[in-house]
Amino acid sequence: MKGVGPKRAQEFQRKGIQSLEDALYYFPLRYEDRTRICGPKDLYKVEEGTSISVLATIQSVREIPLKGKKSRLIELVAIGDDGGLLSCTWFQSYKGLKEKLEIGKKFIFQGKLKKFRGAPQIIHPEFELQTASTSKKQKKSIHWGRVVPIYSRSEILSQKFIRETLFHCLEIAVPQLNDLLPDQVREKHQLISIQDAFKEIHFPSNYFAIDQISSNNLPPAYRRFIFEEFFKFQLILKMDRTKIKKLPAQSFSGKNELFELIKAQLPFELTQGQKQAIEEIRKDVAEPIAMNRIVQGDVGSGKTLVAILSACNILDQNAQVALMAPTEILAEQHYRLVQSLFENSSIRVALLTGSLPKKEKEKIQLGIREGHYHFVVGTHALIQASVQWNNLGLVIIDEQHRFGVNQRTQFLAQPGSNLSPHMVTMTATPIPRSLALTVFGELQVSTITELPAGRSPIKTKVIAGSERNKLYNLIKKEVSTGRQAYLVYPLVSESESEGFEHLKSVEKEFVRLKNGPLAELNIAFVHGKLPNEERLKIMNEFKEGKVHVLLSTTVIEVGVDVPNATVMGIENAERFGLSQLHQLRGRIGRGKHQGYCVLVTDSKPPSTSQANFDLEEGVEEESPWVRLQKLEISTSGFEISEFDLKLRGPGDFFGTKQSGSPTFRLADLVRDIDLLENARNAADLILQDDPNLSNAEHTNLKKWSSKVLEAASKNLKSG
Ligand code: ADP
Ligand code: MG
C-alpha cells in the first residue's frame, strides 16, 4: 500500500493487520457525518463541539514561538466565499505543516467547532487542499463530503492515513471477494452482498451512531456481518462433530478418604466457591458421560486446589489424572504442590515436560503407560502421540484460554478404548455466559466469585518512565521489611529489540539495575530462553526468599505462587493487554501483605488542557495511558476482561486466532438473538441438504470451512 513503510507496517501489524483481509475487518469505531460542507458564516448558528467541515481560503498564517519550548504555535485565518472568517490553531506544529498551509489557496478544514469570543475556530483541524477536481466534486474526497469512518488510531498511524489506506484496500480487495453466503440464503434473509457490506461498513451511505444501534435499526452492513458471524459459527460447530457428541466415560463415585486426607493438610478453609466447584465436578464425574466443565475464577481465587481436590475421587478408584499447564514454570510449580500434598499417600506423581532429557521422558512415558504413575503434571508434552495412558480418568487443563478450544479429542482413556476421560478446564478469563452456551453447547460452567478471605486489594498505579525511581524506592522499602518483588519486561534481550528500540529487555535491565538502582539487593532473572535447570534453580531461590527481586518476561504470567512477593513492576505496560496485566498483577497480593502493582509506560499521559486534541488532527486517539488506568480502578478480572472484550472482540475466547476462523466482531449475543436464531436455522438447513457442502452453490463455503477445520486441528496438534 502506498505510504506504508516498515515503521507503519509494523504498527499495522501490532494492530493485527497483516493482510488485505485483516484490513477489511478493521472496522471503524464510529462515524462522522461530513456530508455537509459549510462556510464560516453558517457556523454562527452551530453549537460548539459539533464536528464541522468548512470550505475557506487561507488569508494569513502566523507562527508564534512558545516560551521555553522548541515547538511553535501556528495560527491561521481563512475566509469563506460568504465573507465569514474561520481561525485555526495548532498548539504544536509538526514538520511540513506550515509549508502545506499555502496562503491564497482554498482548503477544507475539519474538526470540532470552538467559539472564541463568538468567532468560529477549530483546534488541530484535519485539512485538505481543494484542487480543481475535488472542488468540482468530480472526484469525491475520501475525507469529506461524505460520512467518514473514525478508526482506532495511534501515534504512528494518523486517522487520515488509516482512512486513506483502508479506502485503497477496499478498492483493491472488494472486487476479489467471494461471498460465503449462498444467494438463496441472502435472498431469504434479505442480506446485502459481501462487497456492499464492506463498502458500507467503512464508508456508509447514511450516517448512523454506533452506540445507538438496536435490534430494530441494524444498519444493513451490520445485519449482514452479524448474520454471517453466527452462520459461520453454527456451521463449524456442526461440522466439527466431536464437540457436540456426548462421549462415554468411566463413572467415578468415589469414597472420600483421599479427599479428606488432602483437605486436612490445608492450612485454611476452602471458600464457598471452591466447595461448590468441587461438588459440581464430583456430581459430573459420577455420570458415565464425559464431563466437560470449565471452572472460571479470578486470579488468586484458588483454582489449583479445586483441581487437585477434584482429582482425589478419580485416584481413589485407581484411575489416572493428567494436569496440563501452559508453561513449564507453572507445570513445575503444580508438580511440587501435588507432590507435597500426596506425600503421605500411595499416589505416585510425575512431571512430564518437553524439555526433559529424552531418556527421562521415555522413562516417565513408560511409567504412564504401565500405570505406575497416577497423577501426571505436565505441559503440551502430555498430548504428544508418544504418550499412552493406562487408565486416564480425568484431565485438568489449567489456564485454558491459552490452549485451543478442543483438547478433548487429544486424550484417550486407553489405547483402543472407546472411553473418554472427564475434562475440566480452569480459567481466569471468564467466558460470557451467553457465549458459553452458544459456543460450547453442553459445556458446564462453575464460577468462583470470591477470593479467599483476608486479601486486601492490590494498589495499582500508572507512572511515566521518568518516574521510575519511585518504583525502585518502593521495592527497596518492601524488601527492607522482608518482602519480594517482580519486574516484568516485554523482551528477553537486546538482540530481540530490532525495530523495538524503545522496549526494555530483561537482560539489559538486569545489568543496569545490578550496577545501579538496585545494587544493594539480590536480583536475578528468568525467561523462556534460559536452560531449564537454571530457571528452576532461580525460581526456587526466589521462592525461598534468597532472591529479592526477580526480573522476567511474561513467563511468570500464569499461576506462579510466591505469597511473600508484594511488588509487581511492569515496564512498557502499554504493550500488554489488560487481562494479561491483570494476570501478572495476580502474582502478588497472595499473602497477608498489601500488594502494589506499578505500570510503567512511556506513552503520553492525557494532558488536561488539550485532552481532546492530538497532534495533527482534531480526533481522539487511543490513549494507552487511559486504557491502563482502568487497572487502577478495577480489580475484578471479570470487569477487566469485559473491557478488553470491547476493545479486541471475542475472537480470543476460541483460542484459535488464525484468520478466517469464526469470531464475533459485531454480533452482540443479547441484542442480536433473533439473527442468531435465523442464522442457526440457515446453517442447519444447508447441512441437512448438503452435509459435505459439495453442491456448486456451496463452493465458497466449502473452501472456507475446510481451511478453518484444518487449521483448528493443526492448532491442536502443535498445541
Ligand atoms: P488461581 O485461581 O489464580 O490459580 P491459586 O490456585 O494459584 O489461584 O491460589 C492462589 C493462592 O491462594 C495460593 O497461594 C493458594 O494456596 C491460596 N489459597 C487457595 N485457596 C485458599 C483458601 N480457601 N484460603 C486461603 N488461601 C487459599
Ligand atoms: Mg492458577
DSSP per position, 556-594: GSSS---TTEEEEEETTGGGS-HHHHHHHHTTSS-SSSP
Contacts of 600 (CB under 8 A, 6+ apart): 463, 464, 465, 467, 468, 471, 569, 570, 571, 572, 573
For 91-247, strand residue ranges (E) read 106-116, 119-123, 126-129, 147-150
What is the CA angle 635-640-643, rounded to 5?
Answer: 150
The residue among 433, 405, 449 whose CA lies nearest residue 637 is 449
* Grid cell 486416564 in the structure block, residue: 392
Q: Tell me how far CA of residue 665 lies from CA of 375, 569, 662, 702, in angstroms.
A: 40, 33, 9, 22
Q: Residue 646 and residue 651: Cα distance in Å, rounded?
A: 11
The residue among 635, 294, 284, 286 whose CA lies nearest residue 448 is 294
Provide the terminal-to-terminal Cα distance of the chain, rounded to the nearest Å: 34
The 10 Å CB-count burial string (b at 16+, else e) for 559-572 is bbbbbbbbbbbbbb
CB count in 10 Å sphere of residue 145: 16
Nearest CA residue ID for atom 9, ligand 1: 302
Task: Using the atom order of ligand 1, give the atom closest to the CA of residue 305.
Answer: 6
CB count in 10 Å sphere of residue 395: 26
pTM score of the predicted model? 0.60
Q: Residue 200 and residue 174: Cα distance in Å, rounded?
A: 11
Give the number of C-alpha atoms closer than 13 A to the C-alpha of residue 133, restricted to the C-beta side: 4
DSSP class per residue in 319-350? -EEEEE-SSHHHHHHHHHHHHHHTTTSS--EE
For 38-125, strand residue ranges (E) read 51-65, 72-79, 85-90, 106-116, 119-123
| Cα(305) to centroid(ligand 1), Å | 7
Q: Residue 361 and residue 381: Cα distance in Å, rounded?
A: 9
Q: Tell me how far CA of residue 171 lies from CA of 502, 520, 597, in angstroms.
A: 35, 61, 47
What pLDDT sits at residue 700? 92
Q: Residue 10 and residue 499: Cα distance in Å, rounded?
A: 9
What pLDDT sits at residue 354? 87
Contacts of 77 (CB under 8 A, 6+ apart): 58, 59, 60, 85, 86, 87
Closest-lying ligand to the alpha carbon of 301? 1
The H or E element spanning position 633 is: helix 624-633
The answer to whether residues 407 and 275 touch, using CB atoms and an 8 Å cutoff, is no
Mutate to test the pocket of ligand 1, among 455, 590, 592, 635 (most ligand atoms within 8 A of CB): 590
Is residue 450 lining ligand 1, measured as CB closer than 6 Å? no
Nearest CA residue ID for atom 18, ligand 1: 302
| Cα(399) to centroid(ligand 1), Å | 14
**CATH number of the domain located at residue range(s) 257-448 in this protein:** 3.40.50.300
Q: Residue 34 and residue 259: Cα distance in Å, rounded?
A: 67
Nearest CA residue ID for atom 16, ligand 1: 302
Mutate to test the pocket of ligand 1, among 268, 396, 424, 447 (most ligand atoms within 8 A of CB): 268
What pLDDT sits at residue 579? 79
What pLDDT sits at residue 475? 96
What pLDDT sits at residue 402? 45
User: And the C-alpha cell for 445?
Assistant: 460452567
**CATH number of the domain located at residue range(s) 459-634 in this protein:** 3.40.50.300
What pLDDT sits at residue 241? 57
| Cα(573) to centroid(ligand 1), Å | 26
Is residue 559 lining ligand 1, measured as CB closer than 6 Å? yes
Q: Residue 285 and residue 314: Cα distance in Å, rounded?
A: 8
Domain map (residue ranges) of the chain: 6-161, 183-243+657-718, 257-448, 459-634
Nearest CA residue ID for atom 5, ligand 1: 302
Q: Tell me how far CA of residue 110 lies from CA of 36, 50, 202, 354, 535, in angstroms.
A: 11, 10, 19, 58, 56
Tens digits of residue pLDDT in 338-375: 999 999 899 999 999 988 899 999 999 999 999 999 99
The H or E element spanning position 708 is: helix 699-718
Alpha helices (H) along 203-294: 220-239, 257-264, 272-285
What pLDDT sits at residue 676? 83
Alpha helices (H) along 464-531: 468-480, 506-514
* Grid cell 487511559 in the structure block, residue: 626
Is residue 325 lining ligand 1, measured as CB closer than 6 Å? no
| Cα(558) to centroid(ligand 2), Å | 6
| Cα(448) to centroid(ligand 2), Å | 13
Angle between helices 303-316 and 257-264 (to 10 degrees): 150
Is residue 719 lining ligand 1, measured as CB closer than 6 Å? no
The answer to whether residues 444 and 582 touch, using CB atoms and an 8 Å cutoff, is no
CA torsion sign for 707, 709, 710, 716 is positive
**Which residue ranges of the chain lie beneath pLDDT 50?**
138, 242, 402-406, 434, 437, 608-621, 649-661, 715-719
What pLDDT sits at residue 453? 81
The residue among 379, 376, 329, 332 whose CA lies nearest residue 353 is 379
Is residue 304 lining ligand 1, measured as CB closer than 6 Å? yes
What pLDDT sits at residue 260? 93
Q: Residue 197 and residue 220: Cα distance in Å, rounded?
A: 7
Report the amino acid identity of residue 699: T
Task: Using the atom order of ligand 1, give the atom closest to the CA of residue 301.
Answer: 2
Q: Residue 546 and residue 534: Cα distance in Å, rounded?
A: 15
The answer to whether residues 422 and 284 touch, using CB atoms and an 8 Å cutoff, is yes
CATH topology (fold) of 6-161? OB fold (Dihydrolipoamide Acetyltransferase, E2P) (2.40.50)
Same topology, domains 257-448 and 459-634? Answer is yes
| Cα(330) to centroid(ligand 2), Å | 8
Closest-lying ligand to the alpha carbon of 563? 1
Tens digits of residue pLDDT in 454-510: 777 899 999 999 999 999 999 999 999 999 999 999 888 877 666 667 788 999 999
Q: Residue 322 and residue 393: Cα distance in Å, rounded?
A: 8
For residue 705, the SS3 value is helix
| Cα(670) to centroid(ligand 1), Å | 34
User: And the C-alpha cell for 611?
Assistant: 485532552
Q: Residue 473 and residue 68: Cα distance in Å, rounded?
A: 31
Backbone angles phi, psi at 716, to 5 degrees: -70, -45
Task: Using the atom order of ligand 1, give the atom closest to the CA of residue 563.
Answer: 14
Is residue 589 lining ligand 1, measured as CB closer than 6 Å? no
Q: Residue 434 and residue 337: Cα distance in Å, rounded?
A: 35
| Cα(299) to centroid(ligand 1), Å | 9
Q: Residue 373, by phi and psi: left (phi above 0), alpha (psi -120 to 50) or beta?
A: beta
Tens digits of residue pLDDT in 227-244: 998 898 888 877 765 455
| Cα(21) to centroid(ligand 1), Å | 43
Is residue 605 lining ligand 1, measured as CB closer than 6 Å? no
* Grid cell 452482540 in the structure block, residue: 668
Q: Residue 570 and residue 602: Cα distance in Å, rounded?
A: 12
What pLDDT sits at residue 49? 86
Nearest CA residue ID for atom 4, ligand 1: 303
* Grid cell 480487495 in the structure block, residue: 173
| Cα(491) to centroid(ligand 1), Å | 29
Q: Which contacts qualify for 131-140: CB closer than 8 Å, 24 or more apart?
A: 135/106
Is residue 552 lining ligand 1, measured as CB closer than 6 Å? no
